[in-house]
Amino acid sequence: MKRRNIIFWIILLIITDQVVKLIVYHSFMDSNYTFTPDLLEFKPIFNPTYSYWTGKLGANMGVVAHLTMFSLIWAILIILYKFYHKVDPQNRLLDIALIFQTAGFASAYISILFWKNGVLDFISFKPLNVVCDLKDLYINIFVALWIISTSIIAVKYHTSLKDIVQYIKSLFTK
C-alpha cells in the first residue's frame, strides 16, 4: 500500500475517533442507550486511569507514564512492522494493521492530552464489563490483523524469532 494511502487512512480514523468523542461529549454525556440487552450499550464515561488494563490492575500510572509506555510499544511495533514488511512487502493486511495501530495510538495520545477527566469511553460491552471507544476498537482490530498477517508471513517465509533478533541487531550495527 502506498505511504500516502496509509497516512490518509490513519488521519481519517483519528479524525473519526475525535469527532465522535466531541459529539458524545457535547450532546450525549447524560445519555444511556441499550442496543442489545445484556450485550451492547451506549454509556459515556470518563476513564481516569487512561486505559483498560491499568484500570483493571488498579495501577494509575499518570499521563507521562502512559505517553512513555505508548511510545515504547509503538516504537517496538514499528520496528516489527518494518521487519515483516521487508520480508513480504506486498502483504496488505500488515499495512492495514499498521493503519489501525497507528490511528489507535495517536488517538490515545490525543485523548490523554486533551480530556482533563480521563479518556472518554462510550461503548459498553456488558458481558465483559468493558467500556471503550473507537480507539480501543482500532487497537483490537490491529491485534487481530497483526496476528493473522504475521502468522501468514511466518508460515509463508519460514521466519522465526531469530530472524527478528538479527534484523533488530542489524539496525544498531550499521
Domain boundary assignment for the chain:
3-172
Across the range 137-153, mean pLDDT stands at 96
Across the range 126-150, mean pLDDT stands at 94
Percent of the chain with pLDDT over 70: 93
Across the range 123-147, mean pLDDT stands at 93
Across the range 96-108, mean pLDDT stands at 95
pLDDT at 117: 84
Give the chain's radius of gyration (CA, Å).
Answer: 18
Whether the Cβ atoms of residue 45 and residue 131 lie closer than 8 Å to each other: yes
pLDDT at 34: 92
Residue 123, pLDDT > 90, answer yes
**Nearest one of 108, 50, 109, 102 to 74, comparing CA atoms:** 102
pLDDT at 69: 84
pLDDT at 104: 95
